[in-house]
Amino acid sequence: MNSHTNWCNKMSEKKVDVEVTQDDIDNAMGNSQKQAQMTEMEQIELMMKGIKHKIIVCSGKGGVGKTTVAVNLAIALAIKGLRVGILDVDITGPNVPKMLNLEGERPTVIPGTNTFTPVSGPMLSSGGPIQVMSMAFLLETPDTPVIWRGPLKMKAIRQFIAEGNWGELDYLILDLPPGTSDETLDAMQLVGDNSGVVIVTTPQEVATMDARKTINMSKAMKLKVVGIIENMSGLTVKCPKCDEEIKIDLFGSGGGEKAAKDLEVPFLGKVPIEHKIMQQGDKGVPFLISNPDSVSTVAFDEIVKKIRASME
Ligand SMILES: Nc1ncnc2c1ncn2[C@@H]1O[C@H](COP(=O)(O)OP(=O)(O)OP(=O)(O)O)[C@@H](O)[C@H]1O
Ligand SMILES: [Mg+2]
């Protein structure tokens, strides 16, 4: 039995004791006629209504660890028993399903509506499942490229946001592609209220320089900047001769912290480079689950506490 079936069974066991009006039914089921008359923005507002907080994870540069952060943030929140969804806004490089071991899954279209139910992700002992939507679920194979220009990519993002039936969530995490162009702009504009931006950077100047642009873009769009995470911040290795731990600042250190100070935004913390983070990311097991006692997990826990304190 897969996690989706598990989840469906669980839901059907739940007894609901609330008064439901016709309006509620229309809203929940997405009455197709009503939806046809709605503007796209009205529908986005309707679909986002049940989501308490939205966290936009972005960066100026590619490959700095956004998806790794987004996925582990979702896990950390779900472990606390919160209801979490993750929307992969990276249309041409969607990596969330891979990092959650959900490749090959498909979202379900809700009959009679133009809405869909996201894929049910990992079920944790204390919560879940995490709900997931990604372009990767719509591709024939993991190697199928999405060769789309900006307007088509933006259309897909709008559809994911307007037609995704997320239900009631405490957090929706948005994993963005790098940079400040089309998709970032569109996602930032569409999710609107109750959202905050988390910027991921590596320590070196060439990355923080681009992170600064993302922070200034968020500020220009009047979005709350939750803070900066410095990822891949130092590598700790054991000396093979004396077993002493040596920290190597492979990409330098403190660049994220300095950018936070200069731009007067909170610094959320540093996550070191750990071989297991990369390894487990490839296997689809987020490091918070696979390495509960690692240095990165401890660092990440502190970061999550700060994010929650800022959002809730
Ligand atoms: N702290 C870390 N230690 C070791 N490996 C890491 C760490 N953070 C991320 N990685 C690895 O680095 C690679 C890039 O990470 P990830 O895909 O999360 O970056 P990204 O910013 O989302 O990339 P893109 O811009 O392409 O979307 C992945 O293989 C990931 O497992
Ligand atoms: Mg990514």
Q: Residue 248: how many CA atoms within 13 Å on its side-chain side?
A: 8
What is the pTM assigned to this prediction?
0.86
Q: Which residues contact 139 (CB under 8 A, 6 or more apart)?
A: 146
Question: What's the rounded mean pLDDT across residues 40-56?
Answer: 89
Residue 12's pLDDT band (boundaries 50, 70, 90)?
very low
User: Does ligand 1 come within 6 angstroms of the Cβ of 277?
Assistant: yes
Report which listed range, 110-114, 161-165, 275-279, 301-305, is most confident. Answer: 301-305
Query: Which domains occur in the chain, in start order?
Result: 55-311 (3.40.50.300)
Q: What is the pLDDT of residue 182?
A: 83
User: Does ligand 1 come within 6 angstroms of the Cβ of 285?
Assistant: no
Residue nearest to atom 6 of ligand 1 (CA): 278
Cα 33 to its chain centre, rounded Å, is: 32
**Alpha carbon of 88 to ligand 1 centroid (Å):** 15
Tokens 């952060």 sit on residue: 69
- Condensed to tens digits (0 to 9), the pLDDT of residues 80-101 reads 999 999 999 999 899 999 999 9
Cα 132 to its chain centre, rounded Å, is: 9
pLDDT of residue 5 exceeding 80, the answer is no
Residue nearest to atom 26 of ligand 1 (CA): 63
Residue 30's pLDDT band (boundaries 50, 70, 90)?
low
Q: What is the pLDDT of residue 260?
A: 93
Alpha helix stretches (DSSP H) within 147-252: 150-163, 182-191, 205-220
